[in-house]
């Protein structure tokens, strides 16, 4: 069945067809190298399809619509390829896979930035709206400065000015990220990545032993790395609502991201690797694990809120802003840090739910 | 047994002795007017004792130590007398009790202010310390401006300046409240209150029917007013951690206290009246109701945090402050509004606990 991918597929139908096929098994019933190869080929195919779509719709500068979807889909496959190369490293030619991973990380990082800035701005303007009550900032405009505002007092002006400042800063960052992404997609570095992925779509460079290697212990190791990292999280604290931990350094002098966030971000990445490993094993019929889904969503929210809080703090350091603007940014920063705390609470709740048994290796 | 109070008692020993005595009962076993009279006499005696103590230690301007204790004790008895006059109104001479209540409220309000400003400042400086991490503001000084500060960045300077500004504003307010309290205690208005309380310590002006009137339905009505008011609170929302309700108008233009707080403050007062009514009924052996205790503590915390948040917002409107100061005050405001939300959650948890049965009328 792997033969159908030797000719470059032309759309997602091929991917779907592949996914619906039963996974190849070793004589003992264990998923082996071929299962991984199938998964990687499918993801590589999806990557190439998204790339074509992105080229067709790519000139749009707003990162939404077809171009945005294609970029998201590109990132999605790039992450899955990269994650699988990592988890199932022993089955793949070392030089090739170790050379490819940083390039895929560079690519998905570059492509992610534009969307991240847009989402961050939307999150912050949404929060400003919520914090200002119904009249201060018009909801859903995304452009606080340009919208008609009827200030009734100092702090409402502050909220509007804070919104305008964030809009300016994050829109500029987004525009730069868009240019950087376009530049990246035109670079020889990118073409080298695309060539590697095209090779992957036809011929996965497995080691000779891969055909006899059970994938499950490697997937289990990915799961164990996740559970070990979760064990290191302050889950008892996180499970007590309103523990006020996330804002503990809310006024510290350090501009760097809060060190207390790092282990949570790390768990987010490990959860993702675990999820991809499950996809490889259950290829074509991966059951949805609502616990993992909930935990993953909480960690995404954690990351987004942490970055939004950081953006508000950064904006507050803009020279010559009005005190009312700075005040509003302070309220906003604290609000987002409480979102961070809320996300940790949500993760703790999701994680403590009894794990859904979803087959071998999980 | 009421006779022992006709001579003005000279210390708390008399109160203790009174409290340890069994409550007088109607022939049917119901607590009647005499029970109320005993309670009021005991509280009046305590009031007069605290007043004497306050006069002896009264010159201290810091509101702590002996003078502070005496003022607290004065307020404590004034609140209990006033509350009991309200709950058991039908048993008391109407003109007398209706004339006395506003005077007691004026007195305890005037005496409470100094302590409230001191506590508010302590709460806000404590929060600034917590938010700044261990090095930015020295803990427990209570004087952010005077303490040695080693700023490592803009926002730490902001926290220190915010602390200094709050210290200045709230210390000034406290000093003014102290003068106002001293002035009040020397006023003819106060002497009239003290005279009324002295009358109460010897002769409680009960109505003729009071000796046959069961106190329990009146106490039950106080309890029902509390439970009705609690029913009106958004407890379902409050029971969901991180509902972000308390900060909803965090940036609104209105400088007035948040309208969403009012029903909670009202429940706090009704809970207090219910507690005092229980004290009257169980005089001398009032069992501790941990549920009420927890709920009451949560509502005190709610009130304190709401007022601290408001003080931070007010300080942020000081003309010509630095943006970094305003930013720190914004973070502080949001932090205290989250304390408000946390207190609502704590109240909800305390309230949902199964009520401890603590005897008739409760």
pLDDT of A312-328, one tens digit each? 999 999 999 999 999 99
pLDDT in tens, A121-138: 999 999 999 998 765 444
Average pLDDT of chain B is: 84
**Cα–Cα distance measured from residue B133 to residue B138, given in angstroms and rounded to the nearest whole number:** 10
Task: Report the pLDDT averaged over residues A147-172.
Answer: 78
Please report whether residue A32 resides in a domain.
yes
Does residue B39 have a pLDDT over 50?
A: yes
Please report whether residue A150 resides in a domain.
yes
**Cα–Cα distance measured from residue B153 to residue A316, given in angstroms and rounded to the nearest whole number:** 13
Given this model, what pLDDT does residue A28 score? 63
pLDDT in tens, B174-227: 999 999 999 999 999 999 999 999 999 999 999 999 999 999 999 999 999 999
B139: alpha, beta or left? (left if phi > 0; alpha if psi -120 to 50): beta
Of A25-34, A97-106, B107-116, give the lowest mean pLDDT range. A25-34
Does residue B25 have a pLDDT over 80?
A: no
Strand, helix or coil for residue B270 = helix
Of A269-278, B67-76, B126-135, B149-158, give the lowest mean pLDDT range. B149-158
Cβ within 8 Å, pair B334-A329: no
Look at B39 and A144; give whichever has higher pLDDT: B39
Given this model, what pLDDT does residue B81 score? 97
Please report whether residue B359 resides in a domain.
no
Look at B59 and B174; give whichever has higher pLDDT: B174
Q: How far is CA B313 from the centre of its chain?
A: 23
Contact A323/B at CB under 8 A: yes
Does residue A281 have a pLDDT over 50?
A: yes
Among B241, B242, B327, the residue with its CB nearest the CB of A329 is B327
pLDDT in tens, A197-229: 999 999 999 999 999 999 999 999 999 999 999
Please report whether residue B360 resides in a domain.
no
pLDDT in tens, B72-91: 999 999 999 999 999 999 99
Contact A240/B at CB under 8 A: no
Does residue B344 have a pLDDT over 50?
A: yes
Given this model, what pLDDT does residue A3 score? 38
Does residue A146 have a pLDDT over 90?
A: no
Task: Report the pLDDT averaged over residues A166-176.
Answer: 98
The DSSP letter of residue B211 is: G
Domain range enclosing B68? 2-352
Look at B138 and B65; give whichever has higher pLDDT: B65
pLDDT band for position A60 (50/70/90)? low
Please report whether residue B132 resides in a domain.
yes
Does residue A174 have a pLDDT over 90?
A: yes
Look at A75 and A64; give whichever has higher pLDDT: A75
Percentages helix, strand, coil for chain B (3-state, rounded to 5) are 70, 0, 30
Does residue B5 have a pLDDT over 90?
A: no
Given this model, what pLDDT does residue B156 score? 79
> Considering only residues 340 to 359 of chain B, which have any Cβ-Cβ distance to chain A shorter than 8 Å?
341-342, 345-346
Closest to B219 in 3D by CA, of B99, B96, B355, B89: B89
Contact B130/A at CB under 8 A: yes
Does residue B94 have a pLDDT over 50?
A: yes
Interface test with B, best of A128, A149, A331, A342 (most B CBs within 10 A): A331
Does residue B250 have a pLDDT over 90?
A: no
Look at A15 and A262; give whichever has higher pLDDT: A262
Please report whether residue A362 resides in a domain.
no
Neighbouring residues of A192: CB distance < 8 A, sequence distance ≥ 6: A103
Among A128, A252, A324, the residue with its CB nearest the CB of B326 is A324
Does residue A12 have a pLDDT over 70?
A: no
Which chain B residues are within 8 Å of A156, Cβ to Cβ? 251-253
Look at A156 and B8; give whichever has higher pLDDT: A156
Does residue B354 have a pLDDT over 80?
A: no
Given this model, what pLDDT does residue B26 score? 53
Given this model, what pLDDT does residue B254 score? 67
Contact B184/A at CB under 8 A: no
Which chain B residues are within 8 Å of A131, Cβ to Cβ? 247-252
**Cα–Cα distance measured from residue B255 to residue B206, given in angstroms and rounded to the nearest whole number:** 45
Contact A246/B at CB under 8 A: no
**Cα–Cα distance measured from residue B284 to residue B287, given in angstroms and rounded to the nearest whole number:** 9
Domain of residue B121, CATH code: 1.40.20.10
Among B323, B331, B333, the residue with its CB nearest the CB of A251 is B331
Among A255, A324, A332, the residue with its CB nearest the CB of B153 is A255
Contact B159/A at CB under 8 A: yes
> Nearest residue of B to residue A333 by CA position?
B331
Cβ within 8 Å, pair A130-B249: no
> Nearest residue of B to residue A158 by CA position?
B251
- Calculate helix-pair angle for A323-352, A154-185, nearest 10 degrees: 70
Cβ within 8 Å, pair A330-B325: no
Which chain A residues are within 8 Å of B339, Cβ to Cβ? 242, 244
Which chain B residues are within 8 Å of A333, Cβ to Cβ? 327, 330-331, 334
Cβ within 8 Å, pair B325-A323: yes
Please report whether residue A357 resides in a domain.
no
Please answer whether residues B93 and B205 qualify as being in contact, where contact means their C-beta atoms are separated by less than 8 angstroms.
Answer: yes
Tokens of A289: 């694990």
Among B253, B323, B342, the residue with its CB nearest the CB of A136 is B253
Contact B124/A at CB under 8 A: no
Interface test with A, best of B124, B126, B130, B327 (most A CBs within 10 A): B327
Most confident of A79-88, A248-257, B18-27, B94-103: A79-88
Cβ within 8 Å, pair A251-B151: no
Cβ within 8 Å, pair B322-A327: no
Given this model, what pLDDT does residue B8 score? 41
Tokens of B220: 């039950």
Q: How many residues does chain A have?
A: 362
- Between the two ends of chain B, the Cα-to-Cα distance in Å is 25
pLDDT band for position A248 (50/70/90)? confident
Cβ within 8 Å, pair A334-B338: yes
Among A153, A330, A342, the residue with its CB nearest the CB of B330 is A330
Given this model, what pLDDT does residue A251 score? 85
**Cα–Cα distance measured from residue B316 to residue B325, given in angstroms and rounded to the nearest whole number:** 8
Look at B2 and A167; give whichever has higher pLDDT: A167
Given this model, what pLDDT does residue A285 score? 75
Contact A260/B at CB under 8 A: no
Q: What is the number of domains present in chain B?
A: 1
Contact A331/B at CB under 8 A: yes
Of A275-289, B178-192, B246-260, give the lowest mean pLDDT range. B246-260
Given this model, what pLDDT does residue A69 score? 85
Does residue A246 have a pLDDT over 60?
A: yes
Cβ within 8 Å, pair A136-B255: no
pLDDT band for position A102 (50/70/90)? very high
DSSP secondary structure string for all residues of B284-306 = T-----HHHHHHHHHHHHHHHHH
CA distance A327 to chain B (A): 4
What was the ipTM of the complex prediction?
Answer: 0.84
Contact A316/B at CB under 8 A: yes
Please report whether residue A178 resides in a domain.
yes
**Cα–Cα distance measured from residue B290 to residue A126, given in angstroms and rounded to the nearest whole number:** 41
């Amino acid at each position: 069945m792997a033969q159908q991918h030797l000719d470059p597929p032309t759309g997602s139908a091929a991917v779907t067809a592949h996914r619906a096929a039963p996974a190849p098994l070793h004589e003992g019933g264990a998923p082996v190298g071929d299962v991984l190869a199938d998964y990687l080929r499918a993801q590589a195919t999806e990557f190439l399809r998204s790339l074509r779509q992105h080229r067709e719709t790519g000139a749009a500068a707003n990162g939404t619509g077809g171009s945005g979807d294609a970029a998201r889909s590109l990132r999605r496959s790039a992450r899955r390829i990269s994650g699988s190369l990592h988890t199932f490293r022993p089955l793949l030619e070392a030089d090739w896979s170790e050379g490819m991973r940083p390039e895929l990380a560079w690519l998905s990082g570059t492509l992610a930035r534009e969307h991240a800035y847009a989402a961050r701005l939307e999150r912050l303007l949404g929060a400003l709206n919520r914090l200002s009550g119904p009249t201060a900032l018009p909801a859903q405009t995304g452009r606080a400065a340009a919208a008609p505002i009827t200030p009734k007092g100092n702090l409402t002006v502050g909220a509007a000015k804070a919104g305008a400042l964030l809009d300016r800063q994050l829109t500029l960052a987004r525009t730069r990220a868009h240019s950087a992404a376009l530049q990246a997609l035109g670079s020889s570095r990118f073409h080298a990545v695309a060539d590697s992925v095209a090779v992957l779509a036809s011929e996965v460079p497995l080691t000779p032993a891969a055909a006899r290697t059970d994938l499950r212990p490697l997937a289990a190791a990915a799961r164990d790395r996740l559970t070990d990292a979760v064990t290191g999280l302050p889950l008892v604290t996180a499970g007590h609502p309103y523990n006020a931990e996330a804002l503990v350094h809310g006024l510290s002098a350090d501009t760097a991201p809060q060190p207390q966030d790092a282990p949570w971000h790390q768990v987010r990445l490990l959860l993702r690797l675990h999820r991809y490993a499950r996809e490889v094993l259950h290829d074509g019929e991966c059951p949805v694990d609502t616990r993992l889904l909930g935990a993953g969503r909480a960690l995404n929210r954690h990351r987004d809120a942490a970055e939004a809080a950081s953006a508000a703090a950064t904006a507050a350091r803009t020279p010559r802003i009005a005190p009312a603007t700075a005040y509003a940014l302070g309220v906003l920063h604290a609000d987002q840090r409480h979102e961070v705390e809320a996300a940790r609470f949500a993760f703790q709740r999701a994680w403590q739910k009894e794990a859904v048994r979803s087959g071998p290796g999980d």
